[in-house]
A and B are shown apart, each in its own frame.
Chain A
Amino acid sequence: MAADAIRLVPVRAPRPRRRLRGTTLLLGLLVLGAIVVLSAAAPFVTKHDPIAQSLGDRLLPPVWAQGGTTRYPLGTDGFGRDALSRLLFGARISIAVGMGAVALSGVLGTVLGLVAGYKGGWLEGVIMRLSDAQQALPPVLLAIIIVAVFGANIANLIVVLAVSSWVIYARVIFARTVVLRQREFVEAAYAIGATTAHILFRHLLPNLWGQIMVISALQAGRMMLLEAGLSFLGLGVPAPAPAWGSMLADARTFVFITPWPAAIPGLAIVVTVWSVNLIGEGLRQQSEPRG
């Protein structure tokens, strides 16, 4: 009805964005794909060891700047380590932590949201109040405290980020489950004696995949930014591992001499997170009703 009404208004009727729908997703997948392939093939792309120091070659600029050499295409850091190989190996950390955290928080949040939405009652009360409490704690702060107490390694980082970000899944899945619960196919499954677990995972979950995918793609970027932030604060994967955030933190001391060691890992973060966000936005557009 609303759509019909709009067509009666000739002024500025919304044009269908069909042509752009696919391109966002495709661009994101291409850029992220390139980053994944490059980081997976890192040992073949660069001959330098990402943690090998060469004190004679400290703070070299990238090849296009004055004084750059082709031996170090993106220059070197304050210890004379090759920026390109640190960048490529660092991508592995960023991607592993990002994907791991999204997977874990997705499972956690989805299960809690499903249970709260389907069972209701005191379980709903407990889970939803927990998520309220979670929202009263800034994720960065919670992550800082947990990492400081338990120590930092890739597994801990994944757990920390997952614990600080399951709420968004739980909230959305809860809201959808409450609606789905009343549909006939759920009642039918219940009537023929299906167990709760069967209804949750075989009947409700398949109807929620679209939402879960969209949130996951949008969350992946946030997770990578959080990981970079923790590394920057010295709470990420410990040195000398080449995490992008800690590359930036190291380079901070030298920004008065040369901006490159700080600029390059930051750009890598921007491009990677941007490509992941494009995928999320692309998925969201696909799942939006057409018209």
Chain B
Amino acid sequence: MRQFVARRLLQAPLSLLLVSVVVFVILNVTGDPVTVYLGIDATPERIAELRAQLGLDQGLPVQYLRFLSGVVRGEFGRSLRYDRPALGVVMNHLGPTVRLAAVGFVLALVIGLALGTAAAVRRGTWIDHVVGGFSAVGLSIPSFWLGIMLIVVFAVRLHWLPTSGMESARHYLLPAVTLATFLAPQFTLLVRTSLLEVIHEMYVTTARAKGLIEARILSRHVFQNALPPIIAFVGLQLGTLLGGAVVTETVFAWPGLGRLTIDAVSQRDVPVVEAAVIVLALGIVVSNFAADLANALVDPRIRYE
């Protein structure tokens, strides 16, 4: 177990290091943020000043090392747009995104577990087919379109729910449903597959043979053994979830990290983009690590891989 944790702990920072290189190269080598940001009528003095402020007057390796040492200390420079430390700007927008993502995620997980279990237990019946059909359609719905249509129906037509804002629980409903629709089919299909893989194992037959009731077989023998792929997938879906949140936030004018990042990219606010990407990547790496760890705890076989 200790060895397993140590190996994973060594790999995690490596991923982050690579992410930092990729982001740095894309943002700094391919174009000059200063000219884009200041526009064509900027004076040469102003350009030189901003270049010096951002450290762009030095060689690329030096720039990268400065960037990296800043990342380690949590300093990404000042946001060009907000004129505040970029990390602070990102952190201010992190809360709304995490809250929205968490609500959508839990919703999707509950739906996925319920429908996936129903489909697996009643495999081959109409329940299975209906669940499969719904998942196939759900997987095909673009979340931004669903969001707009939900707004049309529930806000514009019926006046039941607000179109944007996040003051109360009612404001969370439409964005969370939008986000969940995009994740729930994936959970459903995965839960169904993982359960079916286990449901035919000998120990399940044995449990049935010794007369256990179905509910107990399901909870003790099937679920526990079907858990590892589900946990791993949940960990890996965090990136997709955050990606989905980016688009969903745009539709509902949600003041979160996704919206901030898109604006920062189009305005070439490089420090904010860098800070946002590193913070998101850190979140994903940590959640993958947590998923691996949870798996190793649930399933002893993984520890000795």
Contact = CB atoms under 8 A, between A and B. Distances in A.
A122 interface: no
Interface stretch (A73-81, A185-193, A198-206, A225-233): A225-233
B280 interface: yes
Given A133-B15, A148-B266, A255-B156, A270 B141 contact: yes
Interface stretch (B61-69, B237-245, B294-302): B237-245
A219 to B, nearest CB: 12
B55 to A, nearest CB: 19
Contacts of A274: 136-137, 139-140
Contacts of A49: none
Contact of B145 (A140, A266, A277): A266
Given A2-B202, A136-B16, A140-B246, 5 more contacts: A129-B11, A228-B142, A259-B149, A270-B137, A273-B142
Interface stretch (B19-27, B43-51, B78-86, B167-175): B19-27
Contacts of B140: 221, 225, 269-274, 277
Interface in A220-247: 221, 225, 228-229, 232-234, 245
B148 A255 contact: yes
Given A248-B148, A262-B148, A135 B247 contact: no
Interface string A133-169: 1011111110011101110000000000000000000
Contact of B250 (A130, A233, A277, A281): A233
B2 to A, nearest CB: 21
B3 interface: no
B27 A229 contact: no
Contacts of A183: none
Contacts of B113: none
B247 A229 contact: yes
A20 B132 CA distance: 12
Contacts of B273: 145
Contacts, number: 161
Contacts of B284: 135-138
Interface of B: 11, 14-19, 22-23, 26-27, 30-31, 122-124, 129, 136-137, 139-146, 148-149, 151-152, 156, 200-202, 205, 208, 236, 239-240, 242-244, 246-247, 250, 261-262, 265-266, 273, 277, 280-281, 284-285, 288
A47 B12 CA distance: 57
Interface of A: 1-3, 5-6, 8-9, 12, 14-15, 17, 20, 129-130, 132-133, 135-141, 144-146, 148-150, 221, 225, 228-229, 232-234, 245, 248, 252, 255-256, 259, 262-263, 265-266, 269-274, 277-278, 281
A260 B303 CA distance: 55
B166 to A, nearest CB: 20
Nearest to A138: B243
12 contacts: A20-B129, A133-B14, A133-B15, A137-B22, A138-B239, A140-B243, A233-B247, A248-B142, A262-B149, A263-B149, A266-B142, A270-B141
A206 to B, nearest CB: 27
A266 B27 CA distance: 32
The 8 closest A-B pairs by CB, nearest first: A266-B145, A133-B18, A140-B243, A138-B243, A273-B140, A274-B140, A136-B281, A15-B124
Contact of B152 (A12, A259, A277): A259
A2 B201 contact: yes
B19 A137 contact: yes
A129 B240 contact: no
Contacts of B18: 129-130, 132-133
A262 B152 contact: yes
B136 A233 contact: no
B49 to A, nearest CB: 24
B142 A229 contact: yes
B205 A135 contact: no
Given A145-B26, A255-B152, A232 B266 contact: no
B145 A138 contact: no
A144 B144 CA distance: 15
A191 B277 CA distance: 48
Contacts of B266: 148, 234
Contacts of A277: 136, 139-140
A132 B26 contact: no
Contacts of A146: 26
Contacts of A129: 11, 14-15, 18
A140 to B, nearest CB: 4
Contact of B205 (A6, A149, A256, A272): A6
A240 to B, nearest CB: 20
A132 B31 contact: no
